[in-house]
Amino acid sequence: MAPRAIWSGTISFGLVNVPVRMYSAIDEHKLHFHYLHRKDDSPIGYEKYCKKEEKPVPDDEIGKAFEVSKGEYVYLEDEDFEAAKVEGYRTIELTDFVASEEIDPIYFEKTYYLGPQDGGEKVYALLARALEHTRLSGIGKYVMRDREHLGCLRIRDGVLTLERMYFANEIRPAKDLKPGRISVSKQELEMAEQLIDRFSGKFKPEKYKDTYTAALKRVVRAKQQGKEVHVAAETDEAEAPDLMDALRQSLSESKGKSRGKGAARGSRKQPARKAA
């Protein structure tokens, strides 16, 4: 079954326009649950309720309002939202091309695939190959569902991929979370690096499984068959060992688990020098 496009428009840079269709790149496998009345399996609905009058409110009496100060609201009508719309409603306007490694992944919010519209295959292929050869990503803004977004255009397996991004002012600063001046010995640092090196290797996303969803499905099947489900008893957490002891024990237990390329730094062979 062919994927359904959720948006269509053009990628614009300079005087070049690439007509594209947008598709969701993610197919989440989460379980979705319903709230039901246990007595008769009827679905639970939610009323729009006025807390002050303590009674339901009809839709025509409900308005959208922004709180400008404590207890003071400004109501906005549909035409107000229309007035705030920006130009380029169907255009991803690229304004910059940057090295992909310069973009901190914290800015990425959601991924979409972009496929060519009928008749736009050649210009689509041209842009895709140009980005692939230059190893650059395009940055620009676009409008989707009445909201302006920042986007990063990159290549994945020969397909144009749009990363919806957060704006800079949406990223919370992390400086207050950084630990203060902590003393770390040279030996502790070397052992920590060796331990990391023991587990290093290539990223293989298929090895990481969603064990929680799988376990939840087993619970659903068991209850469907009338079986009892028992919760495993929680065990008391052991007291945290001394840092050096923990590093030594971890290195000892990880022996034999190194993955070729993930051998300890100290044991790596230095590349042979070419003769002069």
Sequence spans of domains, the chain: 7-27+85-170, 186-230+242-264
Cβ neighbours for 251, distance < 8 A, ≥ 6 positions apart: 191, 194, 195, 198
Cα dihedral sign, 50-52-55-58: negative
What is the rounded CA–CA span in Å between residue 240 and residue 221? 38
pLDDT confidence of residue 86: 67
pLDDT confidence of residue 46: 84
pLDDT confidence of residue 121: 96
Q: Which CATH class is domain 7-27+85-170?
A: mainly beta
What is the rounded CA–CA span in Å between residue 106 and residue 172? 10
pLDDT confidence of residue 269: 41
Which residue has 């003393």 as its token pair?
Answer: 183
Low-confidence stretches of the chain (pLDDT beneath 70): 1, 86-88, 237-238, 240, 256-276
Cα dihedral sign, 191-194-198-202: positive
pTM: 0.75
